[in-house]
Structures are given as C-alpha cells and as structure tokens.
Amino acid sequence: MNSANTTTRTASGGCLCGAVRYEVHGPLRSVVNCHCGQCRRAHGHFAAYTKCARGALRLVADRTLKWYVSSATARRGFCDRCGSSLFWEPVHEAGVSIAAGTLDSPTGLHTSQQIFVDAAADYYDIDESLPRLPGSMSR
C-alpha cells in the first residue's frame, strides 16, 4: 500500500531546452505577477510566479540548473544551457517560487495578484483588474 510519504504529482514543467525538468507533489499557489526590477531583468519582463513548499518540488533533471544569488535573501534558478529562468528561492521561507511560464499545460492556475507595481517599467500597462499587494516577495 501507499506509504504516508507518497504524494500525487500536481504539476510538471521544465526549461526551454528540456535539460531541467521538475515535478510538483503538493498544492500550487495561484500566480502572482512581480514587477520588481530584479524580476524584470531576470525574466525579460515582469515575472509570473506560482509557489509550492520546498519539499514539494522534485527536480527530475537538473544537470544544467544553476543558481544565481540575486540578493542577500534569495537566489534564482536558471538553465545554463538555454537561459530559462525557473525558480526564485528565498533563504528564510519554506517555499520556492516557480516561474509559471515553465509549467506544462494545462496548469489549472489563474493569476490572482500583483506586487511591486510601483517598480513596473513604463512600456506596458498595469492590469488594474488584479489586486495589488505591497509585496516583499521578490527582493
């Protein structure tokens, strides 16, 4: 019979070239858009992140996964072959954010909030239908 540790895969995803592949075995948060300057540079636009518990993320293939320490409190996971931005992992939290665009479809998720709106770039319009949080998620 199944042990208590057995969980169902709730999502999967990977980078552009396929060298990094992951599975999520636990609930995923709805997607939060982060407009901060670090996310915009790392993703080429604002970032759309879902999130799971650290223990729920299983790296299936990670030979090309590298981590960039982007601040004193977080690091960003990317593929050093194709350049995809995949993960944002804070030092002091028990979760890891996953770039929603790297999930396999269908994700079953929706976008619920946005943060660091004050840091948004000037070339796009803010989606006023999304609630704004005074986010501290992505520094």
Binding site for Zn ion (CB under 5 A): 15, 17, 19, 34, 36, 39, 79, 81-82, 138
Coil, strand or helix at 117: helix
Token pair of 53 as six digits: 């518990």
Phi-psi region of 116 (alpha: psi -120 to 50; beta: other; left: phi over 0): left
| Shortest Å, Cβ 39 to Zn ion | 3
| Shortest Å, Cβ 3 to Zn ion | 33
Contact indicator for 76, 70 with CB cutoff of 8 Å: yes
Closest CB to Zn ion: residue number: 138
Token pair of 75 as six digits: 């690091």
Based on CB atoms, which residue is closest to Zn ion, 40 or 58? 40
| Shortest Å, Cβ 89 to Zn ion | 13
Based on CB atoms, which residue is closest to Zn ion, 7 or 95? 95
